[in-house]
Structure 1
Amino acid sequence: MSRTPEAVYSRIRREVADRADVLWDVALALHADPEYAFAEHHAAALLTDELERAGLVVRREVAGMPTAFTAGSGEGPPTVALLLEYDALPGLGHACGHNLIAAAGLGATFAVHTVLDALGGAVLAVGSPAEEGGGGKALEVAAGVFNGVDAALMFHPGVYSWRRAPLTAQEQHRVGFHGRAAHPTGNPTEGIDALAALVELFNVLAALGRRLPEASHIRGIVTHGGTATNIVPEYAEGLFGLRAATSRALDDLGEQLRTCAEGVALATGTRVTVERATVRYDHFRDSEVLSERFAAHLARAGIDLTAPVPGVHLGSSDIGNVSVRLPAIHPFVAVMDADGSDHTPEFAAASASGRAREVMLAAAEALACTAADVLHSADLREEAWARHREAAAAGR
């Protein structure tokens, strides 16, 4: 497998170092002005302006989303995508460190852009809104944004430094029971209690949960339970979140939810509707060969990545939808110690710390060097795709 010339790596490192202050200013600007799903207007404007100023061809409002964008340079194939996230968490700001993801992706894009003359191919920065809720990357996949892309690369700040992300598949379903209203004392036998049916579904799902496989669960809330205490509820509705280790297991879990709901409806004389309420997030399928390249490049900065702890899952992300379509990486790099957690005020503060700056710059360099490897080596691309197809065929 041919090796990327050292001169290319040196140019990448120099480009990231020269832009270090600019990249950190971007990260801090995003951190100071947190914006939420599909409303990241200032973030998208800031990032696209920087990319356009560097000479990349910017397309705004891609996939029908006002805050999604792409920025390309060069001509593929091959083409490598660098992913930027920039949405925040309501009430917590950048407590997941997306300001660092955006800045690192920006820096990596700049660096690859400057070395395309030595590599050939194309680089595509993909700005993806609403990772925290809404699934910007899922919508971009469906719209064909990643068609013709050979690999998709990003990193995520965290409390662990892991080569790959153990991210589950997830979706939400809305379950509605339809009964018949009645007065509980005037004509109680004429009523069909939809709320009682919904409560019974919770009981059935609690029993089901005790025998679900690792990483699978169903959690629900009541979103509508009636209109008055002196009326038998004719309609009741719950919202249920489903997670599973793989997308195939999530399909099975969805069928189990539907079977349970239909059984409860039959037993209670109600009618039930079950529908998906959110964009589906597929499980993350790591491109091991590319993650190993990233880890090797990151080690140059003194940051060592390990395998994730067995049995630990860190939620879900729309990067999963990208990873089931093409080789992708999503390593975690710690910006605070493992005794903390993301989605906390402490993590939001860590995302603007000196350690965060060092991690962001090291990740930008490692992402760019990995992207250069993808563009330079046909053998690496072929190996990544071969392993990707094997994993898909096995349902992993």
Structure 2
Amino acid sequence: MTVTPEGVHDALRAEVAGRAGALWDVALRLHADPEYAFAEHRAAALLSGELESAGLTVRREVAGMPTAFTARSGRGRPAVALLLEYDALPGLGHACGHNLIAAAGLGAALALHTVLGGAHGSVLAVGTPAEEGGGGKAVEVEAGVFDDVDAALMFHPGVHDWARAPLTAQVQYRVGFHGRAAHPTGNPTEGIDALAALVELFNVVYALGRRLPPASHIQGIVTHGGTATNIVPDYAEGRFGLRAATTAELDALTAQLGECAEGVARATGTRAETERVTVRYDHFRDSAVLSERFAGHVSRAGITLTPPVPGVQLGSSDIGNVSSKVPAIHPFVAIMDADGSDHTPEFARAAASPRARTVLTAAAQALACTAADVLLDADLRTAAWARHREGEAT
């Protein structure tokens, strides 16, 4: 086969089309057997097994996570990573469509391995557990999984056809207040009410929230408020979720939360302690030059991707951490109409619908073709890295 872009694209699309039934079967098996963050043992075994059987070199328990893996075709640079998510939502199953993300990445990796055979660099299929709150990709970034990668590609099913994802930065913190216990009637003046301090922090955070930018917010819950009504609480604790449009803005908001907690502690005579309790998700930086390639390829299936609606935010994801490391894409392709929403029972049903099957094939073909462009087009890689290094990606 002649190695021209057109010839490679045609071969990849045909290869994915020939595997469409098998890929849909994988998607349905994942859908019928949802597993949750860091416990996706059967999903990881299914996906890594398919890749290993096809001849890719598989590494399991990557980055110290039992359900993370990589599968490599070829060697050296250039290198492109295809990201496979497969965790589900407790109580809702695959209401975020990760079964389709996994199957599409699998299909693209298998097609690239068959068509290119590792002759033009390397393809790395990366199993990324615990996107729904655990941050598997963030852990993999820190472990160096993406150190020698030129681009990271994935798609996400949704209710919009958007070329890029407006994903914010996100983190959670625990704030605890230490006071002094006392009997509220026997010796009330000796008590220092830790719960009162925590309640005051909620008041301060509410006031702060009224002057934050639209994409920023702090939402808190009480996780410990004392043990008995006849004891002044000597310890109280809350958990706060913070979001912001950019990682830098999130860092500033985190600092403000700490300052608020310390101010309340001084005012109430308590001692505050603030601790990060989740992986921080960076905001997503889209590689426009690569997203344009994906949009062009998926348009062959009659899917037209547009820019996201200005001002709309769709939550956060650990793909943001990957996009801080390498050029990355995360387009949305609709599997239900825009009046719906993910993280709902309706979306879980849509992730196993005929429309989802069509989107799966189209997305796998577009991912494979975009990945081939990265491997075969040095000018495209240069442009993607230049944008990334200049900070122009959004």
Q: Report the TM-score, using the length of structure 1 for normalisation.
A: 0.98
Deviation by residue 1:134-176 (Cα, 9 ceiling, x = unmatched): 1000000000011100000000000001000000000000000
Q: Helix, strand or coil: the match of 2:131?
A: coil
Q: How many Å apart are 1:390 and its aligned residue? A: 1.3
Number of equivalenced pairs: 392
Q: Helix, strand or coil: the match of 1:221?
A: strand
Partner of 1:71 in structure 2?
Answer: 71
Supply the AA of the counterpart residue of 1:338.
A
Task: Quickly say closer, same or farther: Cα 1:268–1:118, change in 2 above 3 A.
Answer: closer
Deviation by residue 1:355-390 (Cα, 9 ceiling, x = unmatched): 000001100000000000000011100100100111
Partner of 2:332 in structure 1?
Answer: 332
Partner of 1:61 in structure 2?
Answer: 61
Task: Kindly indicate whether residue 382 of structure 2 is the aligned counterpart of residue 365 of structure 1.
Answer: no
Q: Helix, strand or coil: the match of 2:352?
A: coil
Task: Kindly indicate whether residue 16 of structure 2 is the aligned counterpart of residue 16 of structure 1.
Answer: yes
Supply the AA of the counterpart residue of 1:227.
T
What CA distance in whole angstroms lies between the structure 2 residues aligned with 1:116 and 1:324? 28
Partner of 1:172 in structure 2?
Answer: 172
Query: Mind listing any 5+ residue stretches in structure 1 that lack a counterpart?
Result: none
Supply the AA of the counterpart residue of 1:7.
G
* Structure 1 residue ranges, 4+ long, deviating more than 6 angstroms after superposition: none
Report sequence identity in percent. Answer: 79
Partner of 2:305 in structure 1?
Answer: 305
Q: How many Å apart are 1:116 and its aligned residue? A: 2.0
Tell me if structure 2 keeps the 8 A contact 1:215–1:245.
yes
Tell me if structure 2 keeps the 8 A contact 1:4–1:372.
no
Q: Helix, strand or coil: the match of 1:146?
A: coil
Deviation by residue 1:319-371 (Cα, 9 ceiling, x = unmatched): 00000010000000000000000000000000000000000110000000000
Supply the AA of the counterpart residue of 1:320.
G
Equivalent residue runs for 1:87-106 within 5 Å = 87-106=87-106
Deviation by residue 1:253-308 (Cα, 9 ceiling, x = unmatched): 00000011100000000000001010110000000000000000000000000000
Supply the AA of the counterpart residue of 1:380.
L
Partner of 1:246 in structure 2?
Answer: 246
What CA distance in whole angstroms lies between the structure 1 residues aligned with 2:35 and 2:124? 23
What CA distance in whole angstroms lies between the structure 2 residues aligned with 1:240 and 1:335? 33
Equivalent residue runs for 1:1-396 within 5 Å = 4-117=4-117, 120-391=120-391
Query: Mind listing any 5+ residue stretches in structure 2 that lack a counterpart?
Result: none
What CA distance in whole angstroms lies between the structure 1 residues aligned with 2:117 and 2:4? 13
Q: Report the TM-score, using the length of structure 2 for normalisation.
A: 0.98
Q: How many Å apart are 1:61 and its aligned residue? A: 0.5
Q: How many Å apart are 1:88 and its aligned residue? A: 0.2
What CA distance in whole angstroms lies between the structure 2 residues aligned with 1:196 and 1:351? 46
Tell me if structure 2 keeps the 8 A contact 1:193–1:234.
yes
Q: Helix, strand or coil: the match of 2:124?
A: strand
Tell me if structure 2 keeps the 8 A contact 1:4–1:377.
no
Q: How many Å apart are 1:75 and its aligned residue? A: 1.4
What CA distance in whole angstroms lies between the structure 1 residues aligned with 2:193 and 2:310? 45
What CA distance in whole angstroms lies between the structure 1 residues aligned with 2:89 and 2:133? 9
Q: How many Å apart are 1:14 and its aligned residue? A: 1.1
Q: How many Å apart are 1:115 and its aligned residue? A: 2.4
What CA distance in whole angstroms lies between the structure 2 residues aligned with 1:275 and 1:353? 43
Say what the alpha-carbon RMSD is for the aligned residues.
Answer: 1.1
Q: Helix, strand or coil: the match of 2:116?
A: helix
Tell me if structure 2 keeps the 8 A contact 1:119–1:372.
no
Supply the AA of the counterpart residue of 1:13.
R
What CA distance in whole angstroms lies between the structure 2 residues aligned with 1:5 and 1:37? 38
What CA distance in whole angstroms lies between the structure 2 residues aligned with 1:118 and 1:278? 37
What CA distance in whole angstroms lies between the structure 2 residues aligned with 1:316 and 1:117? 35
Q: How many Å apart are 1:5 and its aligned residue? A: 2.2
Q: Helix, strand or coil: the match of 2:23?
A: helix
Deviation by residue 1:67-98 (Cα, 9 ceiling, x = unmatched): 00000011120000000000000000000000
Supply the AA of the counterpart residue of 1:346.
E
Q: How many Å apart are 1:4 and its aligned residue? A: 4.9
Deviation by residue 1:164-206 (Cα, 9 ceiling, x = unmatched): 0000000000000000000000000000000000000000000
